């Protein structure tokens, strides 16, 4: 059945991408979010567009490569403005064993026709990032086709264009109930503001709250609990141009006056009861060791958020046949995958045709 009205629950990068693609095809869309678009996990993400870190399975790698291509196409369609930063990505390690693993991954990626350059620290400082501190002879991997995205700006752009095409929005309210008909199909959503919207399709793009939304249609959707902390450092002048993974710290620009910091090692301390402000200071100190100019910056913001990760670590995208009209769009790699999932899921909703790229990521692998 062709959708008459689609409720997109959750307006991060995945929800915004699905809704924009549907609106461009003449579908009536209602965006629903408890906050403001793009201000949840999308705004508190390292926002790195890549497939180099997605080699756990070839199908997942291929989907992420398609995501990278979809970003480039999207930048051509809506304009790059302040959201798209295709300046590549740097990665290096601190010890020989870890460096060996990176070089082994680079060899695999090369065999899959993925672009990677092996540089030295001296070459990186001379050619790419003069503000870095790293040994002259350290092997550094440079992935020229990778990028970073300002997620909140991208979401705002997509939602604005969808609204221009006729989409509606209900921000600052949550979904309390999803109504179904005698056939089990979607009929309505009831919101916490007391309103009820007649719809015949629901897209669950609720990120960390996706399991709760799935429960409203009596679906069990297992998800991991994996909190992470992101810190923004304010700078008078941003000293780097591109995203990078240095030992124990990830750093990227975040516009003209701040950088974003993340570390999996610091994430591991979140559940120990460590003060988030202290975690933010640790991130800043680690970053200063790599980019000394960041020592003059100040912590502007820090937040702990739960990552939207299905139990097996892979995306959950597509229809659940036991609830006609109910679809999921949930993934940890939302920034990389947003544009491609948005396009493929919109096509599936409209035509019923499922793309082969999504074959391994069907929601029903968790049961109906």
Reported as a pLDDT band with limits 50, 70 and 90, residue 274 is confident
Q: Are residues 99 and 168 in the same domain?
A: no
**CATH number where 170 lies:** 3.50.50.60
Q: What sign does the dihedral 132-137-143-144 (CA atoms) show?
A: positive
Q: Within 13 Å, how many C-alpha atoms sit on residue 53's CB side?
A: 14
Q: Are residues 172 and 218 in the same domain?
A: yes
pLDDT, tens digit, 9 for 90 and up, residues 80-133: 999 999 999 999 999 999 999 999 999 999 999 999 999 999 999 999 999 999
| pLDDT score, position 1 | 57
Q: Are residues 112 and 236 in the same domain?
A: no
Q: Are residues 159 and 205 in the same domain?
A: yes
Last-in-domain residue among 264, 286, 306: 306
The answer, yes or no, to whether residue 220 has pLDDT greater than 70, is yes
Give the residue-averaged pLDDT of 21-43: 97
CB 65 within 8 A of CB 114: yes
Count CB neighbours of 205 within 10 A: 35
Q: Answer whether residue 36 is part of any domain.
A: yes
Q: Answer whether residue 12 is part of any domain.
A: yes
Q: Are residues 248 and 116 in the same domain?
A: no
Q: Are residues 199 and 297 in the same domain?
A: no
Q: Are residues 235 and 299 in the same domain?
A: yes
Percent of the chain with pLDDT over 90: 97
Q: Answer whether residue 66 is part of any domain.
A: no
Phi, psi of 191, deg, nearest 5 = -105, 160
Q: Answer whether residue 280 is part of any domain.
A: yes
Distance from chain centroid for Cα 48: 8
Distance from chain centroid for Cα 363: 18
Reported as a pLDDT band with limits 50, 70 and 90, residue 2 is low
Q: Answer whether residue 65 is part of any domain.
A: no
CB 284 within 8 A of CB 294: yes
CA distances (Å), origin 309, targets 38, 121, 179, 264, 329: 18, 34, 26, 15, 11
d(CA 102, CA 14): 30
Last-in-domain residue among 306, 325, 353: 306
- Non-local (6+) Cβ contacts of 320 within 8 A are 217, 219, 326, 327, 328, 363, 364, 368
| pLDDT score, position 330 | 98
Question: Per the structure block, which two tokens stand in for 216?
Answer: 């409203």
Count CB neighbours of 271 within 10 A: 10
The mean of the pLDDT values for the chain is 96
Each as own residue / partner, the long-range contacts of residues 275-278 (CB below 8 Å, 24 or more positions apart, any chain) are 276/229, 276/302, 276/303, 276/304, 277/302
| pLDDT score, position 368 | 66
d(CA 260, CA 249): 10
Q: Are residues 214 and 321 in the same domain?
A: yes
Last-in-domain residue among 286, 306, 326: 306
Q: Answer whether residue 74 is part of any domain.
A: no
Domain that holds residue 95: 89-144
Reported as a pLDDT band with limits 50, 70 and 90, residue 17 is very high
Q: What is the pTM of this model?
A: 0.96
Q: Are residues 258 and 204 in the same domain?
A: no
Q: Are residues 354 and 323 in the same domain?
A: yes
The domain tally of the chain equals 3
Q: Strand 201-204 and strand 326-330: pairing?
A: parallel
Q: Answer whether residue 238 is part of any domain.
A: yes
Q: Answer whether residue 68 is part of any domain.
A: no
Q: Are residues 293 and 185 in the same domain?
A: no
CB 357 within 8 A of CB 340: yes
Q: Are residues 112 and 133 in the same domain?
A: yes
């Amino acid at each position: 059945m062709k959708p008459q009205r689609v409720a997109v629950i959750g307006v991060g990068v995945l929800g915004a991408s699905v809704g924009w693609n549907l609106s461009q095809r003449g579908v009536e869309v209602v965006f629903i979010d408890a906050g403001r678009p793009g201000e949840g996990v999308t705004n508190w993400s390292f926002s790195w567009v890549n497939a180099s870190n997605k080699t756990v399975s070839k199908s997942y790698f291929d989907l992420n490569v398609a995501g990278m291509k979809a970003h480039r196409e999207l930048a051509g369609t809506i304009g790059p403005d302040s959201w798209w930063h295709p300046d590549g990505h740097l990665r290096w390690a601190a010890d020989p064993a870890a460096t060996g693993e990176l070089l082994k991954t680079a060899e695999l990626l090369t065999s899959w026709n993925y672009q990677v350059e092996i540089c030295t620290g001296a070459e990186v400082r001379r050619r790419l990032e003069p503000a870095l501190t790293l040994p002259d002879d350290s092997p550094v991997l440079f992935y020229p086709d990778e990028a970073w995205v300002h997620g909140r700006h991208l979401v705002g752009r997509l939602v604005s264009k969808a609204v221009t095409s006729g989409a509606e929005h209900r921000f600052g309210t949550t979904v309390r109930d999803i109504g179904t008909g005698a056939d089990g199909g979607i009929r309505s959503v009831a919101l916490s503001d007391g309103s009820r919207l007649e719809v015949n399709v629901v897209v669950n793009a609720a990120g960390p709250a996706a399991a709760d939304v799935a429960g409203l249609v009596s679906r069990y959707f297992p998800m991991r609990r994996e909190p992470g902390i992101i810190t923004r450092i304010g700078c008078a002048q941003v000293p780097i141009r591109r995203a990078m993974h240095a030992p124990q710290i990830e750093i990227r620009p975040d516009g003209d006056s701040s950088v974003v910091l993340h570390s999996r090692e610091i994430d591991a301390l979140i559940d120990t009861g460590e003060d988030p402000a202290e975690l933010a200071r640790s991130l800043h100190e680690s970053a200063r060791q790599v980019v000394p100019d960041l020592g003059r910056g100040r912590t502007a913001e820090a937040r702990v958020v739960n990552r939207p990760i299905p139990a097996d670590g892979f995306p959950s995208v597509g229809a659940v046949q036991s609830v006609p009209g109910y679809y999921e769009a949930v993934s940890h790699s939302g920034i990389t995958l947003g544009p491609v999932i948005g396009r493929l899921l919109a096509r599936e909703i409209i035509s019923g045709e499922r793309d082969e790229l999504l074959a391994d990521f069907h929601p029903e692998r968790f049961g109906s």
